[in-house]
Structure formats: structure tokens, C-alpha cells
Amino acid sequence: MASARTPWWAWAWPALAWPILLLMAFAGTDGLIAAAAAVVLVGTVFAAVYHAEVVAQRTGEPYGTLVLAVAVTVIEVALIVSMMLGAPAEKAGLARDTVFAAVMIVCNGIVGLCLLWGGARHHEQGFQVEGASAALAVLAALTGLTLVFPNVATAAPGPFFSTSQLVFAGIVSLVLYGSFVFVQTVRHRDYFLPIETGAEETHAPLPSNVTTLVSAGLLVVALVAVVGLAKALTPALEIGIARVGAPKAVVGIVIAALVLLPEGMAAVRAARANRLQTSLNLALGSALASIGLTIPAVAVVSVLTGQPLALGLGAKDQVLLAVTLLVGVITLGTGRTSVLQGIVHLVIFAGFLFFAVVP
């Protein structure tokens, strides 16, 4: 990773993604084109993970993981907003579905896989419990204020906020996320640093400034391509989901999964290398960024355009969210993890997927 030259595949896949996107714009997403787009999407995800790890290795913790989390989330927001503007009535719940899916994928799927894989390989892994507790506290406040409160607020019916409430939710989300980033990078940066440095990190030479800059640029190109391919494949995805009779919320799950692929793979690789702190920084940080940046953005779009924005979760999803937060506090409350915690989170994730398809 620290070599002076970037491997050919790390720039070839993102470069190939753009002609595919152009072809899909003119020729549609049928047959071989859709298959080619799916293959290029996977290759571009691998390229994004490579470049993210180069940047993370050069900048160190927790800045490297923050770069990837914010970059992915900003592009995710652009994807959600563009889809909202394209079909406002049909996409009123898209932001909610995608954000909730991102939280469940990160907190149960990615975290569970990291704990399971890391525990199976290293038996027991340690991390800074102060950093995990801070992230979970902010996550509980963000999800409660933005995804649960719309159902109990009385100014607007159902899962909707009134305009003033929506503005308040957007401001609160920015304040909470901004405060977390300040604590993570300035005031209590040591809460998010590895307890002990593994041999891989100690002896691996740092990438040069030129290599880091090239990877940073290619990271942005790759992430934009990933989201572009995901958006282009979404109509075919919606048709397929409708044909099998699955709920529309499954679309949000697939979009969140595609967008989170680079972060998820980077987190799992870090856990495999016995760098669980890096994995948790990536996972929990991306969940916080997904809510803290997406809610304000879609709130602005909703207020300015008058488009409906359903944020309140259904009863089933509220229970899943409560279980996820409760189990997260328990499993990440000791500073040590094993395969058991990973299995618990993955079982909850399986329940989320099952009840999303069979509500």
C-alpha cells in the first residue's frame, strides 16, 4: 500500500466506471450493460477501499477514517437528494429508509462482521471504550430526535415534522455531529486512538505525499462513480423488487449497502489485521455522518421545495433500533470483544433483513 506507485487496477476500475455510466445514460440498463455495470461497481469499490487505506495510513487515526466516512456520506446525500427531486411524492420516505438502513447495516452488519472475524482470528480484541461510548451516545440522540420523535410530535400528523420542527431537527443534527467530530479530532482525540499498535502499522512505511494526494483524488473519483452506478442501477432494482413483491423500503437498504461497501470492506480488513479501533472508528463514524449530514440536507430540500419528507420510523423499525442501541451499549461497554458479540450483532442484522422483506 505504501509503494511509490499506485497499482493499475486502483485507477483502472474508477476510469472504466465513467464510460459505463455514459453508456447507461444513452443505452439504458438492460441485459449485458447492467451486468457490466455491476461488475465495474464491485471493482470500483475495491479501488475506493485501497485509496481510503492509503489516505488513512498517511493521515493517521482518527483523521483517515473520518475522511472516508464524510466523503461517502456527502456523496450519499447527493444521491438521496437527486432521487427526491426526481420523484418527490414517491420518494418521501427514501431518506428515512436509507438512513435507517445505514444505521442497521453499520451497527449490526459491519460491526458484527468485524467483531466476528477479528475474534475468530485473534480470539479477543481491545479498543477505547470512551470513544465507543461517545459515539453511541450521539447516535442514540440523533436517531431518537430525527427518526422517532416525528411519530410522537403533534404539530404534524403521522411520520412528518412541521416546518419549524424539521428545521430544528436539521440544526440539532449538525450540532451533534459537529460536536462529535470536534471531540474525535481535537479535544479527546486519544479516545479514538488504538490501545496498542500492531506490527503491521509499526513497520509499514508511510505513503509519500504525492501518492497520498493521488489516492485522495482517486478516492473521490471512485466514490462518485460508485454512487453514480448505484443510482443508474436503481430503476432496474426497483423493478426487480416490485416483481418479487418486496416492500419499497428494501430499495433504501440496497442503496445504503452499495454506498457503504467501501467503508464496510475497509472496516473488516482493519479488524482482520487486529486494528479493531480503526474498524469501530469507521463503522460508528459513518453511522453518525449518515444521520448528521443527511437529515440537514434533506430538511433544507424539503423546506425550500415544499416536498414531503417522512422521517418517522414504523413500530417494527423503532423496536429494532432500540434493540440495536441497547445491545451496542452492552457489547461495546467493556473495551474487549470476542466472537460472541459479533454473532449477536449479526443475528440482529439478519432479523432486520428478514423483517424488511417479510414485514
Round to whole Å and give the CA distance between 119 and 176.
Answer: 32
| Residue 65 grid cell | 477514517
Q: Does 8-357 carry CATH code 1.20.1420.30? A: yes
Give the other-Cβ count within 10 Å of 244's Cβ. Answer: 8
Residue 322 pLDDT greater than 70, yes or no: yes
- The Cα 216–Cα 56 span in angstroms is 10
Show me where the domains of the chain are located: 8-357
| Distance, first Cα to last Cα, the chain | 44
Contacts of residue 355, Cβ cutoff 8 Å, sequence gap at least 6: 316, 320
Cβ atoms of residues 247 and 359 within 8 Å: yes
Model confidence band, residue 291 (pLDDT cutoffs 50, 70, 90): confident
Q: Which phi-psi region, left, alpha or beta, contains residue 305 (left: φ > 0; alpha: ψ -120 to 50)? A: alpha
Rank 4-8, 15-19, 28-32 by mean pLDDT and report only the highest.
15-19
Question: What CA–CA distance (Å, rounded) separates 18 from 221?
Answer: 9
**196 pLDDT tier (thresholds 50, 70, 90):** low
Q: Which amino acid is at 69?
A: A
Can you tell me the mean pLDDT for 32-46? 82
- 10 Å Cβ neighbour count for 282? 34
Name the percent of the chain lying above pLDDT 90. 20
- What is the mean pLDDT of the segment spanning 47-62? 76
C-alpha cell at 280: 469501530
Model confidence band, residue 175 (pLDDT cutoffs 50, 70, 90): very high
In the block, which residue shows the cell 471504550?
129
Mean of pLDDT values over 143-156: 87
pLDDT given at position 88:
56
Q: What is the Cα 253 distance to its own chain's centre?
A: 11
Q: Is the pLDDT of residue 246 over 80?
A: no
CA-to-CA distance for 322 and 342, rounded, in angstroms?
18
288 and 177 Cβ atoms separated by less than 8 Å:
yes
pLDDT in tens, 88-132: 556 778 888 888 998 999 999 999 999 998 888 888 888 888 888
Q: What is the pLDDT of residue 171?
A: 94
pLDDT for 333 equals 83
- The yes-or-no verdict on residue 68 having pLDDT over 60 is yes
pLDDT reading at 198 higher than 50:
no
Angle between helices 63-86 and 276-305 (to 10 degrees): 30
Highest mean pLDDT among 50-64, 78-92, 314-328: 314-328
Q: Which three cell numbers stand for residue 308?
A: 414531503
Residue 125 dihedral angles phi and psi, to the nearest 5°: -130, 150
Residue with cell 459491519: 110
* Cell, residue 171: 440544526
Q: Which residue has the higher pLDDT, 163 or 251?
A: 163
Cβ–Cβ < 8 Å for 149, 166: no
The whole-number average pLDDT for the span 175-181 is 91
Please give the pLDDT value at position 41.
82
User: Is residue 169 within 8 Å of residue 295, measured between CB atoms?
Assistant: yes
Residue type, 220: V
Residue type, 164: S
pLDDT at site 3: 46
Instruction: For cell 430503476, name the residue.
Output: 235
How far is C-alpha 85 from the geometric centre of its chain's CA atoms?
22
In 3D space, the residue among 290, 61, 55, 335 whose CA is nearest the CA of residue 184 turns out to be: 61
C-alpha cell at 26: 444513452
Q: Please report the pLDDT score of residue 200 as a whole number.
A: 41
pTM of the model as a whole? 0.80
* Angle at CA of residue 267, ends 230 and 66, nearest 5°: 80
pLDDT bucket at 86, cuts 50 / 70 / 90? low
